Structure 1
Amino acid sequence: MINVTKTFFPPIEDYHFQVERIWKNQWLTNRGELVLELEEKLKIFLQTSSILITNNGTVPLQIALKLLGNGGEIITTPFSYVATTASIVWENCTPVFVDIHPEYLTIDETKIEAAITDKTTAILATHVFGNPCNVGVIEAIVKKYDLKVIYDAAHCFGVNYNGQSIFEYGDVSTCSFHATKLFHTGEGGALFCNDNALMDQLFYSHNFGHNGPLAFHGLGINGKISELQAAMGLAVLPYMPQIVKERVKVVNYYNTHLNFTHLKNMKLREGTEWNYSYYPLIFENERQLLKIQKALNEASIFPRRYFYPSLNTIDYVKGQSMPVSESIAERILCLPLYLGLEKEDLSTICKIINQTLC
């Protein structure tokens, strides 16, 4: 069976080495030695000024919205994983959808200003499949209207834009370290913030609001990552160059061997150093997609419809029509992409797609 992705497992002796440190320290949680070490190594690897790692990739969105959303309207994208919209609703804010760019697949920055009202407090935009939003234009908008901007950068581990880490943009950026992601800690995530005062708020908000063991800054939840999760991250991190190198080969194979007469790729924004996190194909129509998906499934190959359906259509938001997002969501399919895919597997995938399209 070939799935859309496959979790990278480091050599078990590498993980054992890290776990033995936990047993030696007798410390499982509450920001132990491994968590602190992983944060420092990630700051160096990603070239970021700050990082706070968390127990998953959704909690960072929820904390950021709790601090910056203030129960208002949040301008957001309908083309993302459901956690983006769910976090807005969960934090008692109101999602206001803005359609996406048909080539970059990120929020269409030219349509944001028209959606701003006196209730708007923030923008929550997703860098889709590691492809950056137009952060320059968005930054100008938030300054003009005195808003906050949160970037859902769940797919963006290792992405650089205009010469710096994508995590350096926005009031807050978030990332996912889920097992399906490029870099993972099994379950996990991270917050990035360049404002020291806001970073302090983010920090205590992920630790029950604690200011020392017996005092509290304010309201907080439990967003802490464990030493066992950090051990996985420390075991995976040294293999990132190899992981990305092998994924580049897969992407190049697809680019070379697929027949793009009736297919399109996502367009990468100029200035992007991409991380090869996903391989989305955009078909001419949904019927074509379903035909390809069925043919691949019959060969035990399981691509995935990221992201479907368009989030403005889910029951608990019932947003306005977003024609571009709804159309793309019906026609986009992510192909298998991970370290360990054999050339024979890639050949089979491409042959099935090309032959079925004919």
Structure 2
Amino acid sequence: MNQRVNEPLSAIAPAALPASTVDSLPPAPTIAAHPLQKTSVYVTQPVLPPLAEFLPYLEQIWDSKMLTNGGPFHQQLEEALCEYLGVPYISLFSNGTLALISALQALRVTGEVITTPYSFVATAHSLVWNGIKPVFVDIDPVTMAMDPARIEAAITPNTVAILPVHCYGYPCDVDGIQRIADLYGLKVIYDAAHAFAVRHRGNSLLNHGEMSVLSFHATKVFNTFEGGAIVCQDAKTKKRIDYLKNFGIADETTVVAPGINGKMSEINAAFGLLQLKGVDDAIAQRGIRDARYRQGLAGVPGIAVMTSIAGMEPNYSYFPIFVGPDYGRTRDELYFALRARDIYARRYFYPLISQFPMYRGVASAESDNLPVATRAASQVICLPLYPTLPLEQLDEIVNLIRDLPNP
């Protein structure tokens, strides 16, 4: 039997990910019952303030009759987020996907864009919606983000931009990516959906590249029910973004671009203002649970976790583990064992974006081109992590993982 939680253990470092296949999903294995919690545990759960605290905001909206189109709460939230995040300009959107699509439009990106296959599918979808060809490159085995060496090798005369992802909120190699972008004259747009409030070397991680795109979906560290934003570096660019998210309308009689309706409503913005008051405590509570997972899983054969990047102040947005052959059970056996106990961990990110039918025909989508991402996708499980996750339930999850190979 493996050592159980609540004993002094050191953090486990990332391990090399051996080759495996993700071509087929095995059936759920038959595993003996285990006396875990009675209620379902999901990979995440939004933190909601007391409803009574939200009612005054709603009353103001009802009184003003202003529901959208850049109302007072929308403006207040943009200002508050700029101050909190340490960014110069931010433009709110109704969701992160429309923000990604609009960021590419604002920079007039066409042709080919180099991106990662190891992300949520919206990353690549935003390119296709703009008529842009995605070019997939492999990831770094420590950060799970794009490997700059692979980026440089994938550049062609048609390459216009790089779309990296700060995966799980861990910083990309921003220096390496910017060096390549400067050398080849490429734009850089960061998908920072996981990176709200992450700081890197004392500054906001969101200030790298031409733009960073955030998601405020209900699953994120900071949410506005649904929402998103673009961070940019100058007032002129923000104005263009604001036009694009409002049909391209500049004034009552002038339309300057074929924009879309991506505006955040006053209700979402008001909720964001309320949520912002508690986000520091929410991140701190996530950090407590992150540390407890690390202590409990340290030393478990075949289980690897990610370690902090130098200079990183994390937001603890996800807790991924990687299940290697030394564990004694496959990743999917562990995944289904958790589900059998009503623990709904998720295999973020499996399958790879490059394995979905609409992307398989892209030459760069071949698994041979993406060995590290392919291995990671076949081994990853993101365990439940949210500020109100009961510690006793977290300990039960850890004990199941420790005990499963030794029935």
| CA deviation map 1:280-339 (0-9, x unaligned) | 001105952112112211211110010111111111111222111111011000000012
Q: TM-score scaled to structure 1, two decimals? A: 0.97
Q: Distance in 1 between matches of 2:307 and 2:107?
A: 31
1:221 to 239, 246, 260: 260
Q: Distance in 2 between matches of 1:244 and 1:11?
A: 18
Matches for 1:27-46 after TM superposition, within 5 Å: 27-46=66-85
Note if 1:351 corresponds to 2:399. yes
Amino acid in the other structure paired with 2:317: S
In structure 2, C-alpha distance between the alignment counterparts of 1:195 and 1:120, rounded to whole Å: 24
Deviates more, 1:91-100 or 1:292-301: 292-301
Q: Counterpart in 2 of 1:176?
A: 215
Pick one of 365, 373, 396 that aligns with 1:325. Answer: 373
Partner residue of 2:11? none
Q: Check conservation: 2:47, 2:388, Cα contact below 8 A.
A: no
- 1:270 and 2:270 matched: no
Per-residue deviation at 1:100?
Answer: 0.2
**CA–CA distance in structure 1, aligned partners of residues 382 and 212 of structure 2:** 24
Shift of 1:19: 0.8
Residues 1-358 of structure 1: matches in 2 within 5 Å?
1-68=40-107, 70-258=109-297, 259-285=299-325, 288-318=330-360, 319-321=365-367, 322-358=370-406
Determine if contact 1:18/1:234 at 8 Å carries over to the other structure: no
What's the offset of the Cα at 1:55? 0.2
Aligned-partner Cα distance in 2 for 1:275–1:62: 25
Distance 1:298 1:311 in 2: 27
Verify the 8 A CA contact 1:69 1:121 in the aligned structure 2.
Answer: no
* Worse overlay, 28-37 or 337-346: 337-346
1:69 positional shift: 5.4
SS in 2 for 1:123: strand
How far apart are residue 344 of structure 1 and its match? 1.4
The number of residue pairs the alignment matches comes to: 358
Shift of 1:31: 0.6
Conserved? CA contact 1:291–1:356, under 8 Å: no
SS in 2 for 1:211: strand
Cα distance per residue 1:194-235 (max 9 Å; x no partner) = 033322221211111111122122221111000011121112
Cα deviation, 1:119-171, whole Å, max 9, x if unaligned, reads 00100000000001111111111111111010000001110112111111111
Unaligned stretches of 5+ in structure 1? none
Q: Cα RMSD between the aligned structures?
A: 1.3
Counterpart AA for 2:333: K
CA distance in 2, matches of 1:357, 1:214: 68
Counterpart CA distance in 1 for 2:309 and 2:208 is 15
Preserved CA contact (<8 Å) 1:68 1:122: no
Distance 1:253 1:183 in 2: 22
The amino acid that maps onto 2:388 is: G
- Cα distance, 1:14 vs structure 2: 1.3
Contact 1:262 1:357 in 2 (8 A): no
Structure number, greater radius of gyration: 2
User: In the alignment, residue 177 of structure 1 is paired with which amino acid?
Assistant: F
- Structure 1 counterpart SS, 2:167: coil
Q: Secondary structure at the match of 1:87?
A: helix
CA offset digits 1:87-136 (Å, max 9, x no partner): 11111100101100011100001111110000001000000000011111
Q: TM-score, normalised by structure 2?
A: 0.86
SS of the aligned residue for 1:58 comes to helix
> 1:246-266 deviations in whole A, cap 9, x for unaligned?
111111111111243211112
* Aligned-partner Cα distance in 2 for 1:205–1:71: 16
Q: Secondary structure in 1 aligned to 2:385?
A: coil
> Counterpart of 2:402 in structure 1: which amino acid?
N
**Percentage of matched positions with identical amino acids:** 40
> 2:221–2:317: 8 Å Cα contact kept in structure 1?
yes
SS class of match (2:233): coil
Deviation at 1:71, TM superposition (A): 2.6
In structure 2, runs of 5+ residues without a counterpart are 1-39
